[in-house]
Structure 1
Amino acid sequence: MVTTSGFTNAPATRAILTFLVSASLATSILSLKPYLPLKPTPHLWPYLQLWRILTFQLAYTSSTELLFSAAIIYQLRVLERIWGSRKFASFVVASYGLCMAGTVSLGLVSKMLTLGWWGYIPSGMTAIIISLVAVWRRELPRLGGFKILLDDSSTSTRGIELSEKWTIYLLTAQLALSQFPYGLLPALVGWIVGNAWADELVPGGLVRWRVPGWIVGEDAAGKRGREQYEGLRRRLEEENQDGMREVSDGVARGRQGGQEERRGFLGGVGRYFGGGT
């Protein structure tokens, strides 16, 4: 499905994947894993560690979740190629905030409804990645698929039809079930955020909001493009001027030659009838 290899034309995807892997490895090496997950009690109350709300999505504490997330992000680089780096980065930033607010709010509600039993929010970008999968599913049409037959009969038509996207769905399901049942909460929030974005139901016009161009290097690239375009325009103008000058000189020489030819012809006629040689 993806014809371009590597991270060609996908710098934002490469940056996100590099940051996620580096942050997860750093937290493991520095023994910071206990500071990543979020528990409403006691982290938010009574300890008032509100900074955990901003940081619990930055890294994973499990290598399994990190592996699934890295594989999904790599496959979703095609979405950046369709949207462009600036729109893709804008969605990730907006999704970070929406998933943060939705996961924390739903976690608090779940804790109250379960009388304190549901009091754990796992760390990692699970909600953001699944929101990307939800948008990717809407943006990319189904190109093909295959059927798994349920019996070996040559005339049988009973089977399970799968699209070419089944590998992404399988990895997404594995990611959502990695810390069952607690991983289902951020997965649900991410799926809701992604579909709400695709249907333009998010508040505040976030669908049309864009990060500054310099974050994804568009300003520098645009400046280089304008400079190249300006140089090309000047060269074309100079070539056009030289060409017009040559054409004008050719026309002038043609007119002068024609006048001389006419004068020579008329002079010969006059000499003929006048008896001259």
Structure 2
Amino acid sequence: MNGGIPGFRNAPASRAVVVAAALFSVTFGFRGRLRDLGLVYEKLQIWRLIISLFAFSSTPELIFGAALLYYFRVFERQIGSNKYAVFIIFSTVVSVLLQILALGYLKDPSLDMLTSGPYGLIFASYVPFFFDIPISMKFRIFGLSVSDKSFVYLAGLQLLFSSGRHSIIPGLSGILAGLLYRMNTFGIRRLKGTHSATQDLTESSIATLVSMGFDRTSAMRALALTNYDVNLASNILLEAQALQS
């Protein structure tokens, strides 16, 4: 998986989430104490809820989850840290509410504890990933045509089914939260950060690519993938055109 320029440059919110997930998972998860930190709504305790939103319950979940969070930092670079923080809060809160509704509807005693971790944010991020991130590479494996996006989907499926129904419910809740955000429910997407010189630079980069014959939407996607490097973005767009021709 490739999320553009390596590291967390211009993605402080993503870095904070990944660090929190790693610290809480190691502190509470890998010592066998995380079973008590699932979303046990009958005995809701705020500190347990907060920790459960970040701490994965196993090493494989942490590996796949952290890798996906790292990849999805591209969205923070695309919309800015302030708006991405709004996305984090919205997707997390809405996902938790949807999980509560699901547990209340199912009334299954075996689902008293759902798997913990930032599932809401991770799976909400698959909505803009599906709609906004273009395929930059296609190839064949054992006769099957796959793309660079396929590996991101496979990592998500591994995480979604890692704990059976206990992880499927948080995952699906995250996807629904992402769809609600994209539909601009409650006008959430109108919340914006302050204007800065970076935004002017972004518009200049977009204008440069548009002048080269690329459409604005594709130019924005390519710039987000390359941390707004015009040269790298133009290479991605040219490669995409070559694959489609």
> Is TM-score (shorter-chain normalized) higher than 0.5?
yes
Count of paired positions: 196
Query: Any idea what the Cα deviations from partners look like across 1:82-116, whole Å, max 9, x if unmatched?
Result: 111111111001111101101111122122xx5x4
Larger radius of gyration: 1
1:140 and 2:129 matched: no
Q: Which residue of 1 aligns with 2:66?
A: 70
- The separation in 2 between residues aligned to 1:149 and 1:27, in whole angstroms, is 41
The 5 Å alignment of 1:169-188 reads: 169-188=153-172
Query: Any idea what the Cα deviations from partners look like across 1:233-275, whole Å, max 9, x if unmatched?
Result: xxxxxxxxxxxxxxxxxxxxxxxxxxxxxxxxxxxxxxxxxxx
Query: Any idea what the Cα deviations from partners look like across 1:139-170, whole Å, max 9, x if unmatched?
Result: 222223123354xxxxxxxxx32221111111
- Contact 1:53–1:104 (CA under 8 A) maintained in structure 2: no
Instruction: Give the aligned residue type for 1:106.
Output: A
- Contact 2:29–2:58 (CA under 8 A) maintained in structure 1: no
- The separation in 2 between residues aligned to 1:80 and 1:14, in whole angstroms, is 10
The 5 Å alignment of 1:215-254 reads: none
Closer/same/farther in 2, CA of residues 31 and 164 from structure 1, 3 Å limit: closer
Q: Which residue of 1 aligns with 2:189?
A: 207
Closer/same/farther in 2, CA of residues 99 and 30 from structure 1, 3 Å limit: same
Q: Which has the higher contact order (CA 8 A, sep 6+)?
A: 2
**SS of residue in 2 equivalent to 1:95:** helix
1:194 and 2:178 matched: yes
1:11 and 2:37 matched: no
**SS of residue in 1 equivalent to 2:140:** strand
**SS of residue in 2 equivalent to 1:9:** coil
1:119 and 2:112 matched: yes
Closer/same/farther in 2, CA of residues 209 and 55 from structure 1, 3 Å limit: farther
Q: Which residue of 2 aligns with 1:102?
A: 98
**SS of residue in 2 equivalent to 1:182:** helix
Query: Any idea what the Cα deviations from partners look like across 1:49-86, whole Å, max 9, x if unmatched?
Result: 35355543231221111111001011111111111111
Superposition RMSD in Å: 2.6
Q: Which residue of 1 aligns with 2:149?
A: 165
**SS of residue in 2 equivalent to 1:134:** helix
Q: Could you say which structure has the higher helix fraction? A: 2
Instruction: Give the aligned residue type for 2:44.
Output: Q
Instruction: Give the aligned residue type for 2:182.
Output: A
Shift of 1:16: 1.0
Instruction: Choose the corresponding residue for 1:49, options 19, 44, 48.
Output: 44
Q: Which residue of 1 aligns with 2:219?
A: none
Instruction: Give the aligned residue type for 1:205.
Output: G
* Gap runs ≥5 in structure 1: 151-159, 223-277
- Contact 1:107–1:120 (CA under 8 A) maintained in structure 2: no
Q: Which residue of 2 aligns with 1:89?
A: 85
Instruction: Give the aligned residue type for 2:117.
Output: G
- Contact 2:135–2:147 (CA under 8 A) maintained in structure 1: yes
